[in-house]
Amino acid sequence: MKHFFTVCLLFYGTTLFAQRGVITGTISDESGKAIESAHVQIGGTDKGTSTSATGDFQLSNLQPGSYQLIVTGVGYQTIKHSVTVSEGKEATIKLVLRESMQQLQTVEIVGRKETTYKNDVSFIASKTATPLKDIPQSIAYVTKEVMRDQGVFTMGDAVKNMSGVNQFTFYDDLTIRGFRMNGGSTTQLFNGLRTFSGFWKQSPVNYLERVEVVKGAASALYGNSSPGGTINRVTKKPLTTPQKSLMFTMGSFNTTRVLADFTGPMNDAKTLLYRLNIGYVDAQSFRNLQFDKNLVIAPSVSFLPTDRTRINVDLVYNKSNSRLDRGQSVRGNDLYSSSIATALNAVNDYLNQDTYLITTSLNHQFSPRTSINLAHLRTGYTEDLLEHRSSNVNAVDSAGVAIENLVGRQVFVRQTKSFMDNLSVFLNHNATLGKTEHKLVVGYDYIQSTTPKGAGQQTASGYLLKAGGSAAYNPRQASLYQFYTYTSNGVSRSIPRPNVPSYDLTLQNNILEDPTKYTYASVTNNATSATFYSLHGLYVQEQLKISRLQLLLGLRFDTYIDKKGYTTTAETPVTQHALLPRIGAVFTLTPNVNVYGTYTKGYNPQDPTTQSDPLSGGPFDPIRSSLLEAGLKTEWLDGRLVANLALYDITQSNTLYSANAANNPNLMIAIGQERARGVEFDVTGNLLPNWNLIATYSYNDAKITDAGTRSTDQVLVNLQKPNAPKHQGSLWTKYVFTAPALKGLGIGFGGNFVDQRNLSLNNTQTIPAYTLLNAAAYYRIDKFQLQLNVNNLTNATYWVGGYDYLRLFPGAPRNLMTTVSYTF
């Protein structure tokens, strides 16, 4: 009997155990990397576990039935997942956690863990960790994953993926919603702090986490800015997990590129983190005589003395050697009369630039609701230049008649240095009062920009005089000039002898020139004069949430001081004040659809060098602007895909344009009013986990509506603004095959469409519309990836921008790049 009861007990216990179930699974991030120490809990119980170093977990001894798993991880969004446990069986699941950057972070200090085309949170638009869908303003962005897949190295190629953003020239020079934004004189942001560029070169992107654009004026938070939009460059930050990658690229135009990216903890406690990005590029060009050598070193260190304090130090140093490309010249109005390779340089021209950006930032959280942020950005720029360039007109014969075959040239020899400091401090406080949620930001900015005394420029131009020296040619005083005989197509003509040899479009006379033979005039305008301006800004912003309604209310007061005649005995401070409001609202129609509207005002003092230039026709009143915008922000496919629609109306007054005066290229005119109205549509994200997509379209009606008081300028009214296409769009998609036979293989395809554009303020000179098609192929073998990018598949001839038919900026013909990358 005793044995009988023992057998029954064992049978009962075995049966009971057999009725129990097990849940096993793996937790990874969006890139497929295992997440360690994520917590998995059964909802409504205290039963839970954590994932191992390989992301695995197990929950055992479970009664058959349905359970809800709650999965959390530091830096990731919490997810809930339902799973059914069957009698005596094992349920196996795989879960993916998406990054969450909203945990207490209020500035861009923590490395982004996302590895997709989609970005969820922006700090630039509100100085708070706000989801993009909850910001009442259009935000465009391009992540490092997009730039990597497209083989992008410069800013001009990155912004092709943004609606309403278009190149103006080869340089750091764009139009956003029809308004020009160049890095030399318009506000740019670097991790949310004010900076500038040397204008002549597009910024490399290898050290960037993403590029983003706040559409419309960002004046309510950052002071004077372009009404079209403000570009923010976000650098890669140190990560707590070790990651290393090397990338080697070779391709068309003798391009060689080597990139490295290393990050991880520097101690066992992970309180000291580092990141190091290095880039070296040596490339020729499809353009004659052009080349570009860049060395970029970008180290970053994060120190976390406590769980509430983070100190970041970032440095970006870029040494660049190249020639300054002033564009293609053509005969008359025939765009195809010269090769797109035509450049007017001499063989011994050069442009040497050194740029550095040093950022120090402190983020401290007094409590889960209150934090303070202090940051300082120092920007330094040095330029050493010799260039032979177009004088913007054709050479003339003795009667003063233009010779289409000859382009007049001038020479610039310039050395200059510029510096900028931005000190920023702001306080964030979050509060809940009844049914309302509040995010308050109060801050102060100090910005100082200087071009110190010691810069210099010499210019050689005009025609040689018999008595020595040079001057602009005057046919009525022809006897004063030297002459020579020029023969073309069997016809000889007597023409004045130029100070700098003219460029013959037939002979393509790019030779080694002797700059010591020219007659120079020292000048004190443009980048050669000492300049100084400073800005003090006080601002406050409230984000209020009541159920499904969110309001954003902001106000900034700026004091802008420009020292006219800086460093001279006639130095005079010129002070301007601006009060800049911002009002926005977001209403959640459904869990995946938000509707928004916003109103902002902006201003931009005229460029200090233009203001101080006695030949510019100034001084000029500051630029004023306003923006009205409304739209939809939507999320689909469980948040993997976003689709946004924006409608905008921008007005701006007192914009400066070149007067196109042949005898004074520095002369400017102030336009009474401009207006841009348009529609933008953007889709970004993943149709499937292995299928990425970016699609954009913009319609932009950007016109001059008031040409001011001069009767001669009234012909400008209703002209589409320079280099502002009415229609523009882009498409890029990448698909990675999942079938076993094609494992590791991926393909990419896309294109860009840009409508016809006007050049300068001359409706008789335009550049045609164009469509480009691009493709890519990827093959991954363990930690290696092989990548091939082919751009401009159809070998289309096109121009990305220009000033006139003597200064055109053609796009690259068909080209390819092969890349080998290794991640370890």
pLDDT of residue 600 exceeding 50: yes
- Residue 207's alpha-carbon distances to 314, 362, 525, in angstroms, are 11, 21, 35
In this predicted structure, what is the pLDDT of residue 785? 96
pLDDT digits over 415-453, tens only?
A: 999 999 999 999 999 888 888 999 999 999 999 999 898
Query: In this predicted model, what pLDDT tens digit does every residue of 383-398 receive, in sequence order?
Result: 999 999 999 999 999 9
Angstrom distance (rounded) from CA 460 to CA 67: 81
Nearest to 123 by CA among 115, 112, 276, 261: 112
Distance CA 458, CA 5 (A): 109
| Residue (of 100, 63, 105, 101) closest to 84 by Cα position | 63
As a whole number of angstroms, the distance between CA 200 and CA 173 comes to: 9
| Paired strand residues for 357 | 316, 379
- pLDDT for res 15: 45
Please state which of the ranges 119-128, 271-280, 469-478 shows the lowest mean pLDDT. 119-128
State the pLDDT confidence band at 116, using cuts at 50, 70 and 90: confident
Residue pLDDT, tens place only, 219-232 = 888 888 888 999 99
CATH placement of domain 121-233: 2.170.130.10
Residue reference for tokens 């190091």? 276
How much is the average pLDDT of 549-561?
Answer: 94
Q: What pLDDT score does 47 carry? A: 84
pLDDT for position 612: 62
Mean pLDDT, range 556-563, rounded to an integer:
91
Q: Report residue 291's pLDDT band, with 50, 70 and 90 as the boundaries.
A: very high
Q: Give the distance between the most distant pair of CA atoms in the chain.
A: 138
Residue 19 predicted with pLDDT over 70: no
For residue 14, pLDDT beyond 60: no
pLDDT tens column, 181-221: 887 767 789 999 999 888 898 888 999 999 999 998 888 88
pLDDT score at 11? 42
Q: What are phi and psi of 476, to 5 degrees?
A: -75, -15
CATH architecture of 2-96: Sandwich (2.60)
Q: Find out whether 346 and 513 touch, Cβ atoms under 8 Å.
A: yes
Residue 82, sorted as left (phi over 0), alpha (psi -120 to 50) or beta, turns out to be beta
Average pLDDT, the chain: 89
Alpha carbon 161 to its chain's center: 10
Mean per-residue pLDDT for 482-511? Answer: 92
Q: How many residues does the chain have?
A: 824
> Does position 12 have pLDDT exceeding 60, yes or no?
no
- pLDDT confidence band for 114 (50 / 70 / 90): low
pLDDT at 38: 79
In this prediction, residue 302 carries a pLDDT of 94
Strand 229-235 vs strand 188-190: parallel, antiparallel, or unpaired?
parallel
What's the pLDDT tens digit per position in 708-726? 766 666 778 888 999 999 9
Lowest mean pLDDT among 129-133, 313-317, 647-651: 129-133
Q: Specify the 3-state DSSP secondary structure of 17.
A: helix
Pair 56, 25: CB distance under 8 Å? yes
Does the pLDDT at position 653 exceed 70?
yes
Provide, rounded to the nearest whole percent, the portion of the chain with pLDDT above 90.
64
Q: Supply the pLDDT for residue 412.
A: 95
The 10s digit of each residue's pLDDT in 29-80 is: 876 778 877 788 888 787 888 888 788 999 988 888 899 898 876 556 778 8
What is the side-by-side strand order in the sheet with 90-96? 56-62, 21-28, 90-96
Q: What are the strands, taking DSSP E only, across 284-369?
A: 292-306, 309-322, 350-367
Helix (H, G, I), strand (E, B) or coil at 104: coil
Task: Say how far apart CA 172 and CA 186 lie, in whole Å.
Answer: 10
Say which residues have a Cβ less than 8 Å from residue 4's Cβ, sequence separation at least 6: none
Q: Pick the more confident residue, 656 or 114.
A: 656
Q: How confident is the model at residue 611 (pLDDT cuts 50, 70, 90)?
A: low
3-class SS of residue 585: strand
Helix extents (H) in 356-454: none
Query: Given the structure tokens 């890519």, which residue do they identify?
Result: 776
C-alpha to C-alpha distance for 653 and 670, rounded to whole angstroms:
8
pLDDT of res. 98: 75
3-state helix, strand, coil in the chain (%, to 5): 10, 60, 35
- pLDDT of residue 21 exceeding 90, the answer is no
Give percent of the chain with pLDDT exceeding 70: 91
Pair of tokens at residue 683:
């889709």
For every residue of 545-572, DSSP letters joined together read EETTEEEEEEEEEEEEEEEETTTSTT-E
Task: Please give the pLDDT value at position 566.
Answer: 84
Candidates 401, 405, 409, 395; CA nearest to 331 is 405
CATH number of 234-459+522-823: 2.40.170.20
Q: Is the pLDDT of residue 10 over 50?
A: no
Q: Which residue has the higher pLDDT, 83 or 531?
A: 83
Band the pLDDT of 100: cuts 50, 70, 90: low
Residue 609 pLDDT greater than 70, yes or no: no
pLDDT value of residue 16: 42
The pLDDT tens digits of the residues spanning 663-705 come to: 676 777 777 789 999 999 999 999 998 999 999 999 999 998 8
**Domain pair 2-96 / 121-233, same fold:** no
Domain ranges of the chain: 2-96, 121-233, 234-459+522-823
More confident residue, 792 or 123: 792
